[in-house]
Structure formats: C-alpha cells, structure tokens
Chains A and B, each alone.
Chain A
C-alpha cells in the first residue's frame, strides 16, 4: 500500500487533479517558505534601517531645538515617535549626559556616541545617534525599540498572510484543476464508459463521441475505427462460423476437436446427435463420455491405438463399434489427425463416419469373395490340368518321334543278317576252315562280319543318343508333372542361366521335328549376353511352345524355304529378349488382338492355352511375352523378354521375386504402343 500503489489505483480524474495540484502546491509552499525565510532575514536588516532612518529624521529635526535650547520643541519632535508602535522610548541627551528631551518610558542610562550605533540588548533594540551642528556634537539621540514584539508581530503577520496566500492559492488551484482536469479526464472517462459498454454488452454498434482534435481526438477516432472493424469482422466471423457449422453439420460424419493432453473436447458437430442419439453437450461436458459408449470389446484397442498415436504424434485411422443411445451397435471409422505444437501433440481433430452399412456390405462381399475363390480354385484346377496336358503333350510329341525313330531303326536292324551269317557258320559242321578258305561265300564272310559289326556299332550309337533324348524328354515330363503338383506355390526355382543355353535346349527338344519338316533354323545371338534370372522349365515350356507354333505356321504356308530364326538381344529396357521369328502364315490383326486370351486358338486340335499360360509365366518371372505380325502371309515374331541377373548379386543369388500376379486370374491383354504388338 505504498503511495505509488495508491496513486496508480486512483481514477484518472483524481490523477489529473493531483497532477495539477501537487506541483502547484509544492511550488507555492516552496515560494512561501523562501519568502518567509527572506522576510525574517529582511526584518532584522529592515529594523536596523528603519531605526537609522527614524534617528536621522529626529536628529535633523531636533538640531535646531537643541541649538536654541528649546526642550519643548525637542520633546514635541520626539513625541512624533508614537506613530511607530515598537519604539517604546527615546531621549536626547546633551554632551554632558543631562537629558534634554524624552519620550515614552525611561530610556535608561544615557549612552553618548560619536558615531551612529545600533545594537540589541535582550528583547530591545537600541539606536544611538549623535546630533551635530557645524561638526560639533551638541547631543545624542537614544531610541529604544521593543524588537521582540515587533519581530513576533511580523512573524504573526507573515504567517497569517502566507497562510492566507496558501489557502487562497489552494482553493484557486483546486477550482482551476477541477475545471482543467475535466478537459482531460472527461473525454477519457467518456471513452472508458464506451469501451466498458462495448465490453459488457458485446455491443459493437456503440461509438465514442469524437473529440475535435489532439491525441484524444486521434484516440477516439481510432477507437471508433477499431470498433467498426471489429464489428465488421464479427459479422464476417459470425457469417463464416455459421457457414462452417453448416458445412460441418452437412458432412455425413461427426467432426470433433479435443486437447491432446487432457482429451477435453471443445467441439462436436451436430450430426453426433442424429448418428448416436446423444446430445452434443453430453460429450462436451464429460470428456470420458465417448470412451464409455465405445463397445466394451473394442475399447481397449481404441485406447491403445489412440495413446500410441498421440505419443508418436501420428495421425491414425481406426474402426470400432459404438453403442448408440437406443442400444444398437454402430460401426464407425474414425480418422484422427494430431496437431503438433512445440514438438508435442497439442490438439486432436477427428472425423467419425458411420460405416455400419459398409461393414455389412463388406461382409457380404467377403462372403461372395470366398465363394468366388472356391469357384476360382476349381476353375484353376481345370486350368492346371489343361496346362499339364498341354505341356506334357508337347513333350510327348518329341517322345513319340523318338520312339518311332527307334522302332524304325529296330525294324531295319541288321541283326537278322548276323543271324544268317552265324547260321551259315553253324551249317559247316567242322569244315569251318575249308568253308572260310574254299567256299565263295565263306571267303567273303569275315569281311562281311567286320562290316556288319561296324554297322551295328553305328546303329547302337545312334539309338543310344536317341534314347538319351527320350530320357531327357521323359525327365521334362516328370518335371512338368511335379511342378503342376505344387501349382499353388507359384514361383519355382529361379536360377541364373545363359539365354543361349535356353535356346539350344529348346532346339534340342524340337530338333528332330525341324529336320523332318525341313525347317532351316537360324541362330542370331548377340555377343556378350548377360545371364537371365528365370525358372528354367517355365522358359523352356514357353520356348518349346513357340517353336512348335512356328513349325506349324511354316508347315501350313509352304513346302520349302521354311526359315525359323532364333534371335537373342538386349532390349532398351535392360532385359534380354528371345525372339522366335518364322516366315509362315502370319497372324491376322483381329487374331493378334486375342492371341493371348485363354481358349483362343486357330488350330483344329489346339487348346487355346499355350500362349496364354506362356504369357502368364513370363509375367510371373518379371518378363513379358509379346507377338508381332505384319498380317496373314507375312510371318510372325514372338518375343520373350526376360530379366537380367544383377551383376552385384553373387552367383548363388537370392531369388529375384516374381512380380505379384494372381495366378488364378485370367490373363488380360494390355494394349501397347505399336498397333499390332500386344504384350502380356
């Protein structure tokens, strides 16, 4: 409760009054004090001077009286001193000390002085003044004054006057300051009451009275401008708030906002009521309200997810069930964004959408999907069977060729000739030497036997190689069967293989057929080819299929000049392309469009499966299969693009994952940039 505190808490009126009064009072007091001190000092000097002057006058006037020994005149002159109240007595003494004239009470013992002397003794002041005539002292004037009384009187008078001045000054100052302070405080008070009215009633239509000029004029004007701006902003704010609320309420979901630390909710949009049958205030007043209406089976999960997301400052999406006021369970999807301030989760904003219907629909869909999956599985098994039959059939072609060949050979074998030779030798019955040396037949027999054994040897070699091929094909069949047994496991074993090796294997499998049908095979392999990462058997299946298709296309077109070109090169996309080109019948554009579709075929005995499964397999390995033809009679080219083994990968190599493909889905045809080129 210091003075400063007291002043600070004063009203502005008091402050201004104080401001005017205090300096005024202090100055006045100071002036009065100085004056008082000055007067006290001046009094003593003034008293001396006055006594001196009085003595001068009295002596001047009484010189003649003394000179002419006129005591009466002198007494008369002295008696004029009664006009000066503080002079109590006076006397003129002759040089010998005899009194000549006197006034008032006895002045005391005569004091004779040659020079004027002023001195104070006790309460009195004395003035001693010589009377001279023509340089000769003819008497001495002694004047006695009651100094103390005069001094006290002066002090009283002074004090009275100064007090009066102070009082009058204060009154005038107070009146003036009261009048002046109004000039300052009145506009401020008016402005204050206006501001108060604005603050109390939130009424921005109120305006302060504008002062004509000065800082207060600026203040009131700017205050009014401010109020006007606030008013227009408030109107705009209300409008946009209304708009925002309308928008929020029109959303088919509940929008809410809460503090991240306390979970106190400060906004919930209106649809909350229609969606769950509770009132908005229920949640606004009780922050746990929402958690309490969450289905008890989901509550823990929602809490955990929310806490974790807030801790990690991540937004999150969660679905759970809420118990509505009528008891039904509502499935909701809630997306909550976490606003981060000062590196800390500060605010949560959520959107709750009723997904009960979607949930039901999703469940339906899932049921349908499951059924579809079962159907698909069955269909898939049929496809697998078709694939197996096709691939096995392809290889079986070669097997049957080999078997026929072996049959032919065995039929045409010279073993019967050997039997005939051995029978001939047996018929000789001990005359073997003679037979061999004398008989015409016997003489050529050894030569014949040698030639026969050579022939048989050659035949055996040929048949052995054919049998080896046969064995290889049978192995291939076994492989196909084994693979199809594990069809669910889509990806097989990936290995890094030289692409030329793949082509050579293909040619080996189809080799006899090409020879029989007089097909010229051209190898056009680019140098320094990288290895590819593929499932060998899948690639072989594709290539064998392509080769067989090409051979059939060539058979259908011309009796001779059949050329089948195998070209291997790198593509711009960083893959290795194996292109199988024939100059056969070619493909019509509309057929080219559908060539990879399941079940499409131009052959009488075709399944319409080979190219389809080949394209799928190529895609599974991360490659693709495409077809190109300039039209019927112009031949066709099939390109199998395969991924290259990464150079950094070690030789054992981690398997390169195949592109995720739904093995059961039917293969689609994707349009490519070239008009007649289709890629899978």
Chain B
C-alpha cells in the first residue's frame, strides 16, 4: 500500500519530499494510538533511584516559560521540600546532567517557603497533610510540582507518582500545568498513566 502510494506519486512526478511525507503521517498516527497500559518491567533498582531519574527526565520533557529563567543559560533549579527520601541518589543522578542545555541545581526548600524560586519542586510524602497549603502558595507560579501520594494531583499538584505492578508511574494534572504556564512534551504525556484535564 505504501509502495503503491509512492509509485503513483513518482509517476505523477510529485517531488520526493511529498513522497516522504507518508511515514511522517504514519508516525503521528502511531503516537495517537499509543496505549497507556504498560506491563510490569523488571525493576531491580530502588524505587527512589527510579524517581530521581524520573525527576531529571521531567525536567527534560517539560518546557518552562522564558521568564522563569533569569538568563538563557541560568541553571534549572530542582527543589526538595520536606523529608528527602532519595538519600544521595538524587544528588548522584543529577550531577553533571543537563536539561534542555541548562545545568541543574539541587536545593532543599524549607517547608515555610513557597519554593517559587525553584523550577521543579518535589514535595515529600511527609508533607501530605499540607499539600493544599503548599500548592496554593505556588498557584500560577511556573513551578513543576511533583508529589508522591494522592491526592497531590487532585489538590492542584502537577505530577503525582504512583506504583503500578511494582513499577513507578505517574499521573499528570494537565490543567494545573497549563495554569502554571508549563508546556508538556506529548511524549511525556504519552508515558503518563493518567492525564487529568479537569479538577
């Protein structure tokens, strides 16, 4: 079928570029039919090592508004609020890494701060009771908030980790991300377990 299309296109002396559009269109189609289901993967590494890698990848697949950075090469700041569950895994994961060409800085954010100076704020599990309060403080601020337990996303958090068949997955609150001025790569959306569109 594909060849047939190309042959006809060639016979009609259509430029080559047009002929090559086929696979492109096909590729897009492939994305749309992607299923969110995922089978269990072998996961021998500790959970928070995975989550640390996920945090780095979130930074890579999300686009912040330009005004979120002081300059074009200003570092991307990742903050951890509350009890640090990663140990030194996060430090290790982030060291020497870049996201969208920017160096990454890790900070610890005290609970009484709003964390708006961070670009990505990880809210630890021990702060589950004050999720709403923390998130309200950051409303509209271009900060990608990541929580570990429900109902973080429901209360206005943007990404919420969860576990499916012993593997780490996550939900995305697209509405919250939108109000925060963040743009998610469709690829990230494709691998999220659930994408919340309304509160």
Hey, which bits of chain A sit against chain B, CB under 8 A? 35, 39, 42, 46, 49-50, 53-54, 56-58, 60-61, 63-65, 67-73, 75-77, 80, 83-85, 133-135, 150, 153-154, 157-158, 161
Contacts and interface: CB of A to CB of B under 8 A. Distances in A.
B190 A65 contact: yes
Contacts of A161: 7, 11
A61 B2 contact: no
B29 A80 contact: yes
Contacts of B190: 61, 64-65, 73
Contacts of B60: 67, 133-134
A153 B23 contact: no
A46 B19 contact: yes
A85 B169 CA distance: 33
Nearest to B60: A134
B35 interface: yes
Contact of A42 (B10, B35, B57): B10
Contact of B7 (A63, A85, A157): A157
B38 A73 contact: yes
B39 A72 contact: yes
A64 B54 contact: no
B120 to A, nearest CB: 15
A57 B7 contact: no
Most chain B C-beta atoms within 10 Å of own C-beta, residue among A57, A68, A134: A68
Contacts of B168: 69
Nearest to A75: B39
Given A61-B30, A70-B191, A80-B26, 13 more contacts: A46-B6, A50-B22, A54-B26, A64-B191, A69-B41, A69-B53, A70-B169, A77-B31, A80-B27, A85-B2, A134-B98, A157-B7, A161-B7
A56 B23 CA distance: 10
Contacts of A58: 27, 30
Interface string B4-37: 1011001100000001101110110111011111
B63 to A, nearest CB: 14
A150 B20 CA distance: 17
A592 to B, nearest CB: 129
A83 B31 contact: no
Contacts of B61: 64, 67
A473 B26 CA distance: 167
B91 interface: no
Contacts of A85: 1-2
Contact of A57 (B19, B27, B38, B41): B27
A154 B5 CA distance: 11
Nearest to B97: A134
Contacts of B7: 39, 154, 157-158, 161
Given A68-B191, A69-B167, A134-B97, A76 B20 contact: no
Nearest to B168: A69
A373 B174 CA distance: 168
Contacts of A61: 27, 30-31, 34, 187, 190
A283 to B, nearest CB: 84
A181 to B, nearest CB: 30
21 contacts: A46-B19, A49-B20, A50-B20, A57-B23, A61-B31, A61-B34, A63-B187, A64-B185, A64-B188, A67-B57, A68-B191, A69-B168, A72-B38, A73-B36, A75-B39, A76-B35, A80-B26, A80-B29, A133-B60, A157-B3, A157-B7
A242 B4 CA distance: 84
Interface string B160-199: 0000000111000000000000000101101100000000
Contacts of A35: 11
Contacts of B191: 64-65, 67-68, 70, 73
Contacts of B2: 50, 83-85
A158 B4 CA distance: 9
A161 B8 CA distance: 10
B68 interface: no
Nearest to A50: B23
Nearest to B167: A69
A134 B57 CA distance: 10
B1 A72 contact: no
Given A42-B10, A71-B39, A76 B34 contact: yes
A72 B37 contact: yes
A92 to B, nearest CB: 13
Contacts of A157: 3-4, 7
A165 to B, nearest CB: 9
A366 B54 CA distance: 163
A263 B191 CA distance: 121
Contacts of B19: 46
B50 A39 contact: no
Given A85-B1, A134-B60, A71 B24 contact: no
B134 to A, nearest CB: 25
Interface in B39-61: 39, 41, 43, 50, 53-54, 57, 60-61
A621 B38 CA distance: 165
B3 A153 contact: yes
Nearest to B41: A71
A53 B20 contact: yes
Contacts of B24: 53, 57
A672 to B, nearest CB: 118
Interface in B84-113: 97-100
Contacts of A158: 7
B23 A53 contact: yes
Contact of B3 (A68, A77, A80, A150): A150
B47 to A, nearest CB: 12
Contacts of A65: 187, 190-191
A127 B137 CA distance: 51
Contacts of B27: 53-54, 56-58, 60-61, 80
A153 B98 CA distance: 47
A126 B10 CA distance: 25
Contacts of B1: 85
**Interface core residue of A35, A50, A65 (most chain B CB under 10 Å):** A50
A50 B1 CA distance: 14
A77 B38 contact: no
A68 B41 contact: no
Nearest to A55: B23
Nearest to B45: A69
A77 B34 contact: yes
Nearest to A65: B191
B38 A154 contact: no
A35 B156 CA distance: 62
A321 B185 CA distance: 138
B188 to A, nearest CB: 6
**5 tightest A-B CB contacts, nearest first:** A72-B38, A57-B27, A80-B30, A64-B187, A53-B23
Contact of B26 (A39, A68, A83): A83
A569 B187 CA distance: 161
Nearest to B4: A157
B26 A72 contact: no
Contact of A72 (B35, B54, B188): B35
A561 to B, nearest CB: 147
A56 B187 CA distance: 14
B10 A68 contact: no
A463 to B, nearest CB: 158
A60 B4 CA distance: 26
Nearest to A73: B191
Nearest to B188: A64
Contacts of A68: 54, 57, 188, 191
A35 B10 CA distance: 10
